[in-house]
Structure 1
Amino acid sequence: MHRAPDGTAYDLNGPDNAPVVVLIHGLGLNRACWQWTVPALTDRYRVLSYDLYGHGQSAPPSDTPNLTFFSQQLSTLLDHCGMDTAVLAGFSLGGMIARRFAQDAPDRTDALVILHSPHKRSPEAQDAILKRVEQACLEGPNSTVEAALERWFTRDFRQANPDMMDTVRRWVTANDIAIYHTIYRVLADGIDEITAPTPPITCPTLVITGDEDYGNGPEMTHAIAREIDGAQTMILSGLRHMALAEAPDAINAPLRSFLEKLDSQK
């Protein structure tokens, strides 16, 4: 583990001079959620994974969190690591941060991989997530984690993998009750910043979700892709939100293929 001057905890893996891929985790998680992805990349890519402010081993946010705040964290980290540009792969909230960064620093964004990330929600879905934010504010992450595990993993996988459920549960419940809800609100309210981006995002983009990811489903994936010229979509059959942990190859294979295609076009 490395630590940047601003308190960001991060890991670097893979060859020193290889193309850079940055992995950005989702709400309540930490960089350990990429443990099933990193080994699929590090023979050919320099992989940077890090903890968002207020998560894992990183410092708490120094200001009220929003997408621009997290975009600046990434910019500062790239500067610290001496990286000019990168491919950004963002999961859920991380996919929102990746899109914000692509708007803020298009010259530093080689490509995007957006995993299980939201677009504009229906009024009913927006009301539901705001209720979860309020619940997290009053009662902390313990109050929302069991419902989250049901949304994130299929029933059969949950039943067959109690150790993984315990691991993910520990990641979520380790979050500070005073901070967690403020970042949860970014997931809920930040979507307007990255919907119909102006100027539009133009870098190569791959958008993936599962057909059972009910909060970030296929219709959202296609909506994200429609706003990015040339973006590709992939819908994973029989998988929910955390496909990267439940079925790593379902994410790793298209991610690797996308990266190799980018390399071939240079």
Structure 2
Amino acid sequence: MDWSSSYVRIGAVSLLSVGSVWAYRQFFAVQGRNRGCFRTLKAQPNRSLAYREDVMEGSAYASLSTGETHYYLLGPQNGEKLVFFQGMSSVNALLLPVLRQLVDNGYRVLIYDYYGRGYSDAPRVPYNESLYVTQGRELVEHIGWSKFQVLGFSLGGAIATSFASQYPEKVTRLALAAPAGLMESLALPAKIARLPVIGDLFAQSVAPFILFYMMYRGSLHLHKAPELELWRSVSFDQVFKHPGFMAAYHSTLVHFPFTGLAARYEKLGALGLPVLLLWGTNDRVVPYRLHQRVMQLVPQATFVSIPNTAHELFYESLDQVARPLLEYLQASRSQ
């Protein structure tokens, strides 16, 4: 090997730098069962965060088996109960538009920060299907809900499907928006993140910049959304300030079955539970064509195609999404 080559020297220095960052975060950063969250940062002086606990009413905490979970209960206390499983990188503040629609139509909505997001703890555990489903189950038991409707978006759609297939006695109706779990393959950054050692280095060095760039680029077409600046500010805080977010995100890429939930969807189909499926025709994150696979496995589902809409359908086309969603959810009132 010609070590006099400038390219080789640059590559070696870059690898050493990346390795140093990873080693510092792994061995010299504060260790413990919980990596920390926005609560950790809020306790520090001169820390400003875009996502505040009081951004919505009904903020509360639940001590669950794997850590503290931050959640909101929104809407009238006697309203129809609905649990919202959100996307992989979202926090509650970024879903204000659709939450307002649900609350204004009389729903009592439970939405919460997944582990490793927002103000919930970031435990040092594998972020797999079991962790996400168990967090949801323990939380609804904590607040005393036994039956409710469920709405799941993206990763949350996969979690909602797993939850409903495992606890069908709790779910009366299920709405899925661009749900994950049936991906044919993962994007290149996700494949790199799954590689031994290299994936850890990647997640702790280059990946945050790639992820934020993807978030920012995905928000460029959302110029009409009133919460757009909040979206970008919260996304920045999550990626670059949150002490547990990137580790949780990386662990989810490694351990969650993004391509392996066919059996859960098939079980959902066999149960005959009412299902609404919403998908944007321009979705490239969870490709639109996958709606065909969902319909094969869940034949009782009602499918609604949202034209000229990408993955963030609750922002890009809220009006087109809200109408069929509310009609579907409200159909239970006449039964």
TM-score range, shorter chain: 0.7 to 0.9
CA distance in 1, matches of 2:78, 2:225: 40
Count of residues paired in the alignment: 261
How far the C-alpha of 1:194 sits from its partner, in A, is 4.2
User: Which of 271, 276, 281 is residue 206 of structure 1 equivalent to?
Assistant: 276
Runs of 5+ in structure 1 lacking a partner? none
CA distance in 2, matches of 1:147, 1:49: 24
Paired residues for 1:13-32 under 5 Å: 13-32=74-93
SS of the residue corresponding to residue 278 of structure 2 reads strand
Partner of 2:259 in structure 1?
A: 191
User: Which of 193, 200, 211 is residue 144 of structure 1 equivalent to?
Assistant: 211
Q: Deviations over 1:133-171 (max 9, x none)?
A: 644354343322212443x44x54359986255235325
Q: Deviations over 1:26-55 (max 9, x none)?
A: 112112222111111224211111111111
CA distance in 2, matches of 1:208, 1:168: 26
TM-score when scaled to structure 2? 0.70
8 Å CA contact retained: 1:27, 1:184: no
Worse-superposed segment, 43-52 or 74-83? 43-52
Q: Deviations over 1:165-203 (max 9, x none)?
A: 52353254144333321123345x343134464534421
8 Å CA contact retained: 2:82, 2:149: yes
Q: Deviations over 1:5-31 (max 9, x none)?
A: 121111111121222111111112112
CA distance in 2, matches of 1:258, 1:171: 35
Identity %: 23
User: Which of 177, 180, 186 is residue 115 of structure 1 equivalent to?
Assistant: 177
Partner of 2:163 in structure 1?
A: 101
How far the C-alpha of 1:225 sits from its partner, in A, is 2.6
CA distance in 1, matches of 2:250, 2:333: 39
1:239 aligns with 2:309: yes
8 Å CA contact retained: 1:21, 1:89: yes
Return the index of the structure with the highest Cα Rg: 2
1:131 aligns with 2:192: yes
Worse-superposed segment, 75-84 or 28-37? 28-37
Paired residues for 1:60-75 under 5 Å: 60-61=122-123, 63-75=125-137
CA distance in 2, matches of 1:142, 1:80: 37
> Residues 191 and 102 (structure 1 numbering): CA distance in 2 closer, same or farther, change over 3 Å?
farther
Partner of 1:258 in structure 2?
A: 328
Partner of 2:222 in structure 1?
A: 157
Corresponding letter in the other structure for 2:222: F
CA distance in 2, matches of 1:194, 1:35: 31
1:5 aligns with 2:57: no
